[in-house]
C-alpha cells in the first residue's frame, strides 16, 4: 500500500479506507467520488491503477481539490448512462460537457464492514433529452476476489507472478415513477497509458469509433479478439456490442522495472438487456456493453476500460438493477503474463504487439 498517498489524502480532508482481502490484496477506497482509487499487490507500494499526478504531494492535492473543476482522482469509478442525458446539459448541442457534481464527487456515505467496504450515494438529475428529473440511489461494495487461476496447474508454474484482485458489487435504484429514464450503471477503470486493451469476443465484431481517429495499426479485429493499442496522442473512444462480447476484458502494460501488469475485468454481459449508452452523434445506435477511451491530452495520460450494465426505468420493466464484476491483476515477466492472457482471454492475445 502507498502510505504516502494515504497520508496526502488525509491531510487534504479526503480520508480513504483500506480493504485487505484474505489473500493480501490491498484496495484503496476513496469516498470522494465513490472510487476504488488503487489496487495493490500484497505488501507493495505501486498502484496498479492511474491516479491524478496532483495527488503526489499535499500541496498539489490541496490545490486540486480546492478548485471548481471536475476532480478526476483516477482509479475505478461509477458513472451513469446514457452519457448524452447526464453529461451534455444542452444535448443535442455537445459543446458543453459537464460532470454532474451530485454524482461525481457526489455525497457518498461509507460503511466499513468485516468483509467489505460499502458506499451509497443518493442523487437527483434532470435528463437532458426528456427534461424529466430522476431520483436515484447508487450502492457499491468492494470485497474479495480470489485468484481465478489458484486451482489451475498453470499457476503452480508461475512462481514469479503476483496477484491482486477485488469484487465490485453495484446497484442502481430508480425511486418514484418507474417509467422515467432509462438509466444504467457505467463502471470504468483508469490505467497507465500506453498499453494494449484486449476484448474477448464470440465472433469477429467491428468496434464503433465514438470519436477521434483510430488507426488500423492500433485497432485489430480477429475472429475472437479485439486488440486496441492505447498509445496515441489525443482522445479516442470505441464501443463493442453486447451480442459479441464474452465478458472478459484485459489490459496489459509495462512497468519501469521490466515486469508487465495485466488487469482483467470479468463482467456479466446480458445481450437481452437494454444497453442504452450511445454515440454522441447517433442516439439511436444502442447495444454497446464495453467501451475503451484513450486519453493523452490536457485531461491527463490514461487508458479507460469501461463497461455498462443493462438499464432500468423506461422500456425495461425494472426499477432496480444489480451487477457484480471481478478485477484480477497480475504482475510478472512478459512471458508469464502472456500465458495468463492466453488462459483467461484467448490464445489469440498471447503475444503482445506492444512489445
Can you give the pLDDT at residue 114? 86
Q: Where are the beta strands (DSSP E) in 176-313?
A: 184-192, 196-201, 208-211, 219-221, 225-229, 234-241, 245-254, 260-266, 288-297, 300-308
- 17 within domain boundaries: no
Could you give the number of structural domains in the chain? Answer: 1
- Position 153 scores a pLDDT of 97
Task: State the pLDDT at residue 355.
Answer: 47
pLDDT number for residue 1: 84
Provide the β-strand partners of residue 167.
143, 326
Any idea what the Cα angle at residue 180 is, between residues 189 and 289, rounded to 5°? 30
Averaged pLDDT for residues 293-318: 97
Average pLDDT value for residue range 238-263: 97
Whether residue 59 is contained in a domain is answered as no
Q: Kindly give, in sequence order, each residue whose CB lies less than 8 Å from that of residue 135, ignoring residues fewer than 6 positions away.
A: 122, 123, 124, 174, 175, 176
Q: If pLDDT is split at 50, 70 and 90, which confidence band does 349 have? A: low
Average pLDDT over residues 276-284: 97
Is residue 242 classed as helix, strand or coil in its secondary structure? Answer: helix
The reply to whether 342 falls in a domain is: yes
Q: Tell me the average pLDDT of the chain.
A: 96
Which pLDDT band holds residue 354 (cuts at 50, 70, 90)?
A: very low
DSSP-assigned letters across all residues of 111-166: EE-SS-EEEEEEEEEE-TTT--EEEEEEEEEEE----TTTTSHHHHH-TT-EEEEE
Q: Say what percent of the chain tops pLDDT 70.
A: 98
Mean pLDDT calculated for residue range 288-298: 97
CATH code, 145: 2.70.98
In a domain, 38, yes or no: no
Has residue 40 been placed in a domain?
no
SS3 206: coil
In a domain, 77, yes or no: yes
Task: Output the pLDDT for position 351.
Answer: 54
Instruction: Please check the confidence at residue 221 and state whether its pLDDT lies above 60.
Output: yes
The 10s digit of each residue's pLDDT in 184-208 is 999 999 999 999 999 999 999 999 9
Per-residue pLDDT averaged across 273-300, rounded? 97
- Contact yes or no for 305/189 (Cβ under 8 A): yes
Q: Which grid cell sits at 306?
A: 469501461
Could you give the dihedral angle defined by the CA atoms of residues 52, 58, 64 and 67, in that order, rounded to the nearest 10 degrees?
170
Q: How far is CA 208 from CA 111, 216, 278, in A?
A: 39, 13, 10
In which domain, by residue range, is 249 found? Answer: 73-349
pLDDT tens digits along 56-92 = 999 999 999 999 999 999 999 999 999 999 999 999 9
Task: Note the pLDDT of residue 347.
Answer: 74
Confidence of residue 346 (pLDDT cuts 50, 70, 90): confident
Per-residue pLDDT tens for 82-107? 999 999 999 999 999 999 999 999 99
Question: Does the pLDDT value for residue 352 go beyond 90?
Answer: no
Residue 27 belongs to a domain: no
- Mean pLDDT over residues 270-278, rounded? 98
Per-residue model confidence as pLDDT tens digits over 113-132: 989 999 999 999 999 999 99
Question: Is-contact 294 137, C-beta < 8 A?
Answer: no
Q: Is residue 190 domain-resident? A: yes
Q: What is the mean pLDDT of residues 237-255?
A: 98
Task: Give per-residue pLDDT as tens, 141-190.
Answer: 999 999 999 999 999 999 999 999 999 999 999 999 999 999 999 999 99
Amino acid at each position: 500500500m502507498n502510505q504516502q498517498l494515504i497520508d496526502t489524502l488525509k491531510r487534504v480532508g479526503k480520508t480513504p479506507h483500506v480493504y485487505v482481502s484474505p489473500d493480501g490484496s490491498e484496495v484503496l477506497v476513496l469516498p470522494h467520488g465513490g472510487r476504488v482509487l488503487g489496487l495493490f499487490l500484497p505488501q507493495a507500494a505501486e498502484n496498479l491503477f492511474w491516479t491524478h499526478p496532483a495527488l503526489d504531494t499535499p500541496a498539489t492535492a490541496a490545490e486540486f481539490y480546492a478548485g471548481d473543476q471536475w476532480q478526476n482522482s483516477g482509479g475505478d469509478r461509477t458513472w451513469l448512462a446514457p452519457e448524452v442525458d447526464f453529461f451534455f446539459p444542452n444535448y443535442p448541442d455537445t459543446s458543453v460537457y459537464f460532470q454532474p457534481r451530485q454524482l461525481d464527487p457526489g455525497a457518498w456515505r461509507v460503511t466499513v464492514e468485516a468483509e467489505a467496504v460499502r458506499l451509497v450515494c443518493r442523487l437527483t438529475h434532470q435528463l437532458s433529452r426528456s427534461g424529466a428529473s430522476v431520483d436515484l440511489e447508487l450502492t457499491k461494495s468492494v470485497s474479495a476476489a480470489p485468484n481465478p487461476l489458484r486451482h489451475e496447474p498453470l499457476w503452480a508454474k508461475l512462481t514469479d507472478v503476483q496477484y491482486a484482485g477485488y469484487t465490485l458489487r453495484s446497484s442502481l435504484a430508480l425511486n418514484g415513477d418507474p417509467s422515467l429514464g432509462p438509466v444504467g450503471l457505467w463502471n470504468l477503470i483508469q490505467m497507465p497509458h500506453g498499453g494494449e486493451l484486449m476484448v474477448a469476443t464470440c465472433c469477429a465484431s467491428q468496434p464503433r469509433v465514438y470519436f477521434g481517429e483510430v488507426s488500423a495499426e492500433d485497432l485489430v479485429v480477429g475472429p475472437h479478439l479485439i486488440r486496441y493499442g492505447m498509445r496515441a496522442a489525443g482522445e479516442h473512444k470505441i464501443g463493442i456490442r453486447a451480442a459479441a462480447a464474452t465478458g472478459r476484458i484485459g489490459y496489459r502494460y509495462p512497468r519501469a522495472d521490466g515486469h508487465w501488469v495485466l488487469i482483467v475485468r470479468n463482467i456479466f454481459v446480458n445481450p437481452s438487456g437494454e444497453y442504452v449508452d450511445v454515440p454522441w452523434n447517433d442516439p439511436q445506435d444502442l447495444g454497446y456493453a464495453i467501451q475503451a477511451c484513450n486519453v493523452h491530452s490536457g485531461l491527463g495520460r490514461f487508458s479507460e476500460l469501461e463497461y455498462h450494465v443493462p438499464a432500468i426505468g423506461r422500456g425495461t420493466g425494472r426499477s432496480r438493477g444489480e451487477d457484480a464484476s471481478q478485477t484480477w491483476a497480475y504482475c510478472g515477466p512478459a512471458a508469464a503474463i502472456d500465458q495468463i492472457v492466453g488462459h483467461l482471454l484467448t490464445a489469440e492475445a498471447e503475444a503482445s504487439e506492444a512489445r
